[in-house]
Amino acid sequence: MDKHRRVAPRRLRVESLAPPFSCFTQVEESFGGNPAVHRCFSLARSFKALTLVTEEIDAEGLLADENAEIAGLYNTFQPGPIVRISFWLDTVQPKQDSADLPADRLVGYAILKKDILSSTKLDHEGWHVFEAVFRKYDHRHNCVPAQCSYSLRVGATELQLPGVLYAQQNGLNKACAHVALRSLLSRFSPGNDLRNSDINKIARALGPSTTPPEKGLSAQQIQAVLKHYGVNYRDVDYEVAQKKNPTVRKTQPYQKYLYSAIESGCGGLLGFSMSGPKADPADPDKHIIPFFGHTFNKDTWAPDADQAYFNIGGGIGFIPSENWTSSFIGHDDNFGPNFCIPRLYVNPGQVDYVAEILPQGTAYSGMIAEALALQFIYSLHPYLIKSNAWSRRLSELAHPSMQRVILRAICVSSSTYVEHLGTISDWDGCRETPALVSELSNLLPKRVWVVEISIPPLFAAEERKVGEILLDATKAPKQKGKMAHKIDFGLFLLARLPTQYFVLKAETATGPVFSRIQSALESHVPVLEIQ
């Protein structure tokens, strides 16, 4: 599926990006002034790239497949030129017969494709970004978990580039939903890609529609594509859900789904209706974009101010780690890749659809994992010892009268958690007993929700935690009969808190009973990070 990225060039040109080279002139004269192409050049400038390599390539692989599909839809279609551009930190001289380019100096690439319809004038003179990948900014608070690596050929050199694939709609065989799905699903597909023609085939299989799938996908068609590729997800179609629950946008806010999806390394989708003086409220245009990262602002005022000033006595129960997120990182196919979009920028009333992509084998969302973990903390509160300073601090802040604990839910394989537990050390340099870590590796299910527990300002200033609660991610919470209003302790695996682990011994009429296991970790430890 990566043949289109690895096709040998027919011709190759190398240019210096130093003055007097003008990115604006290049994009306007060569690519119709396409804003997404401008964005690619802007990203290269921000990295201080020195060299632009432009290769003319033939339509092979996914490029040929797209041309064939468009030709079947429009009898006046003519394939146009295709170029592959790449940006480099050094002055490089790629050759078509020698493979000597340094992969670590590659900033990013884009494949630019021109489609021609003799009877129709296309936006940006027919040019669009078929795909692009750029490196993440090298900033520790710019978080893009679980980056994928994409294969690429430049000249005769075969390369690998980490990042998240971007693609732009062309208004012919693919719309915003197609490229958003391709962006996220390419991270999990063999060869790191999928065909838009396959997306359209899956969508058409649902039956006749007033809108051809190549012009846009409904929520049901998006769900069908996710299911076809075996992608696990939890979503909310707000337009449908609000008929049963008018407050659904408040009780299930879109940003909770996106944040959880990003932290677990999978990403999410956000669909919304457009607004403005020229928008038709009766039949608004819609758009959808993918999210895959976030920024972290350790100095944000909001988490403290929310409870102290704007939600006094609100009974939230905990502080979500999401509150330290300033922006989500995502693509907008109209404007380009790797944009920071303020976490609460999109008006909830305009959000139509959100999808949280989940790791394979995960049975419920991060929002549910956080809610369950909070109830387990309340159940464990009487067991917290006061002789340990960090246990005492947690006890005070977890008390129902305070509700100042911070929770961060992240879904990982049990092996990832065990590796984390075996490598971390607390503030005093203590590490967990190797035999205990080894024993856990044999007891945990394949996938777990790790709900990390921290306290202000430990989380923000140090990115550290006092413990975590582990939940079985492979089983859905019980929602039937009498269990609908009770805590489902069947999902509880263990809690690790300063100096001790807790495992469920029994459930009684007066509440759960826990057994304790000694832990060598006596204070706070680093949070878990997905690489």
Q: Which two tokens stand for residue 318?
A: 């905990």
Question: Could you tell me the CA-to-CA distances from 410 to 153, 366, 370, 373 in Å, in that order?
Answer: 35, 7, 10, 12
What are the residues facing 288 on neighbouring strands? 271
Q: What is the pLDDT of residues 407-417, one digit of tens each?
A: 999 999 999 99
Q: Is the pLDDT of residue 361 over 90?
A: yes
- Mean pLDDT across 46-66: 97
Whole-angstrom Cα Rg for the chain = 25
Under the banding of pLDDT at 50, 70 and 90, the label for residue 180 is very high
- Mean pLDDT across 359-364: 94
- Mean pLDDT across 483-505: 84
Q: Which pLDDT value is given to residue 484?
A: 40
Q: How far is CA 166 from the centre of its chain?
A: 13
Q: What is the pLDDT of residues 221-246, one digit of tens each?
A: 999 999 999 999 999 999 999 999 99
Under the banding of pLDDT at 50, 70 and 90, the label for residue 313 is low
Strand spans (E) along 359-435:
406-413
Q: Which pLDDT value is given to residue 485?
A: 43
Instruction: Note the pTM of the prediction, 2 decimals.
Output: 0.93
- Tell me the C-alpha distance between 230 and 497, whole Å: 36
Q: Which pLDDT value is given to residue 174?
A: 96
Scan for tokens 């970790």, then name that residue.
521
- Mean pLDDT across 70-74: 95
In contact, 318 and 406? CB cutoff 8 Å: yes
Q: Which pLDDT value is given to residue 190?
A: 66
Under the banding of pLDDT at 50, 70 and 90, the label for residue 499 is very high
All domains of the chain in start order, with CATH? 1-164 (no CATH), 171-293+323-358 (3.90.70.10), 366-526 (no CATH)
Closest by CA position to 155, among listed 17, 14, 23, 286: 14
Q: From the CB of residue 414, how many other CB atoms can be counted at a distance below 10 Å?
A: 22
Under the banding of pLDDT at 50, 70 and 90, the label for residue 480 is very low
Higher pLDDT, 422 or 138: 422
Under the banding of pLDDT at 50, 70 and 90, the label for residue 216 is very high
Under the banding of pLDDT at 50, 70 and 90, the label for residue 151 is very high
Q: What is the pLDDT of residues 98-138, one digit of tens each?
A: 678 889 999 999 999 999 998 778 888 899 999 999 999 88
- Mean pLDDT across 385-401: 90
All residues at 6 or more sequence positions from 528 whose CB lies less than 8 Å from its CB, including other chains: 410, 412, 416, 417, 420, 450, 452, 468
- Tell me the C-alpha distance between 488 and 475, whole Å: 11
HEC sequence for 442-475: HHCCCEEEEEEEECCCHHHHHCEECEEEEEECCC
Q: From the CB of residue 232, how many other CB atoms can be counted at a distance below 10 Å?
A: 16
Q: Which pLDDT value is given to residue 349?
A: 95
